[in-house]
Chain A
Amino acid sequence: MAAVRTFVLPHYPEYPIQIALFKDVTNAAFLRSQLLEANSDFDYAFIDASMILTPTHLLSPVFLSLHLHLTTRLKTRTPHSEIIFRLHPNNNIGESYRKFGISDTTTTLIAVRLSLTPDVTRESVAKHLGDVVEGTSVDVGERGEMLGEWGDVGLVRKVYKLGDGGGAKGKKGAKGVAIGGGVDERREMESVILGIMAIKGL
């Protein structure tokens, strides 16, 4: 059994979200191959945890995907592939998978499963992930505190073109999202990233 937390998005209480985190994963290539083969048992968003900065950074594309699914406006095949797609600032699905999706070398992994049907429960997801993921299960915490724990600030900054916190547009310290490390930097980056994801492709 893997540690799985259930999240309930405000305004969509009837569609809980199951989220699990693994470190020291050794069979990422296998997991990825199951996605490529479209094995229906592997209906997950498998995300490389190094690309997730904060819990809300993950919950935002999850919300968008659920919302677009329920209003029949998905741009990709499933709500789970849509989560990966919504994470990326551009409209290229392949690029989204390359940047945010599981790769053969992924060692920290976030798995997201929407409970869109009654058979998908915390227990069923915990059992299945526990069986198929070779790695150490990590409890993400009540508010998902651990979801950003492996986030790589530099990589995330780059993919969203957040500059280096000043030099980007020529003026020192005047423009670009604040740097300095720590919680404030992440929160400020998150504020911009949520906006970038919200306005993309419209």
Chain B
Amino acid sequence: MATATDTPATPPPQHTIHILPAPFTHSPLTLLAQGAEALVYRTVFLTPHTPCVLKYRPPKPYRHPILDKRLTKARLLAEARVLVKCRKDGVTVPAVLGLDAENGWMVLEWVEGGSVRGVLDGWVAGGGRFEGVEAGNGVWGLMRRIGRAVGRVHDIGVCHGDLTTSNLMVRTGASAVRGESEGPQTQTQMQRPKRLTPSALREAAMTSDAPPVFELPPEEPPPPPSKAQSTSDLEGDIVLIDFGLATQTVQDEDRAVDLYVLERAFAATHPGAEALFQEVLRSYGESYKGGRSVLRKLEDVRLRGRKRSMLG
């Protein structure tokens, strides 16, 4: 048993407040998430009624400052370029509203809605079961839209690189286009404090270089599931986010790896949803010309993945 004189095995986490670069240094922002690489805030940009996401990649203290700056700049720029290409080619991703790659920040269009992960969790909480879903259920349509969305990105020659159920969002409200439905908003109105998501917490806990940026709020119970909400949330465009690891490629191999990553992500966050995921793949295969050959390649990739996990 530990006594008062014991030195703790691990030092208490350092709750540093990141100082944001100009022009956000003195703006009161709402932290949405802290991933391995980036801090994500909600704020407004260009006009007081244009909600947006600020993605900031803080300097890594263990890296040489000049090298760090160069790497951060290159990665942000690559991410922004892919997003602009997607948007230009009609793929639903958040628009890039602003960028200062040198200082590590990018501003993206706000996507109103939730992640596929959250939406499926909500569906389950509202009584949905992954096994034996009846034909007319809206969740099938959701799977088809996911398949088509991934097919669209691949069709324009982009691989996402990190296709998880958190990086796919379901946009709620048909005209959830920038600020349209919202009146002028003051900054104080926008400061609804939000908790870090469980996955962000986990990520933060796993990375030693990125300590949590503020005191974690006390546990609060999840909102009660509402049936009306969980069915309507299944509707809406799929918006792909987080292109931090994206590449421009037309190799079937890369595309198949993208699908494999998504398959594993689905299995991890929604055990039992294998049959549903087949519908993602089916509609992916039909969504563009090269789709079927990627699905064949996926079988090789799976096999290799299994061998690797047996060795490991």
Binding site for B on A (CB under 8 A): 8-12, 55-56, 59-60, 63-64, 67, 70-71, 73, 143, 162, 169, 174-178, 187, 191-192, 194-196, 198-199, 202
CB distance from A176 to the nearest CB of B (A): 7
B46 near A59: Cβ-Cβ < 8 Å: yes
Binding site for A on B (CB under 8 A): 22-24, 27, 43-50, 73, 77, 80-81, 83-84, 87-90, 95-103, 106, 109, 155-156, 177-178, 187
CB distance from A59 to the nearest CB of B (A): 5
A191 to chain B: which residues have CB within 8 Å? 87, 95, 109, 178
Cα A194 to Cα B106 in complex, Å, equals 12
A187 to chain B: which residues have CB within 8 Å? 177-178
B47 near A56: Cβ-Cβ < 8 Å: yes
Q: Which residue of B lies closest to A8 (CB)?
A: B48
B89 near A64: Cβ-Cβ < 8 Å: no
A63 near B46: Cβ-Cβ < 8 Å: yes
A67 near B84: Cβ-Cβ < 8 Å: no
CB distance from B108 to the nearest CB of A (A): 10
A194 to chain B: which residues have CB within 8 Å? 95-98
**Given contacts A11-B27, A60-B97, A187-B178, are A195 and B47 in contact (CB under 8 A)?**
no
**Given contacts A178-B90, A187-B178, A196-B84, are A64 and B22 in contact (CB under 8 A)?**
no
Cα A71 to Cα B90 in complex, Å, equals 34
B80 near A198: Cβ-Cβ < 8 Å: yes
Cα A63 to Cα B47 in complex, Å, equals 10
B89 to chain A: which residues have CB within 8 Å? 169, 175-176
CB distance from A166 to the nearest CB of B (A): 9
B87 near A55: Cβ-Cβ < 8 Å: no
Cα A71 to Cα B23 in complex, Å, equals 9
B23 near A11: Cβ-Cβ < 8 Å: yes
**Given contacts A10-B48, A60-B46, are A202 and B101 in contact (CB under 8 A)?**
yes
Cα A187 to Cα B16 in complex, Å, equals 39
**Given contacts A10-B46, A55-B47, A192-B95, are A177 and B100 in contact (CB under 8 A)?**
no
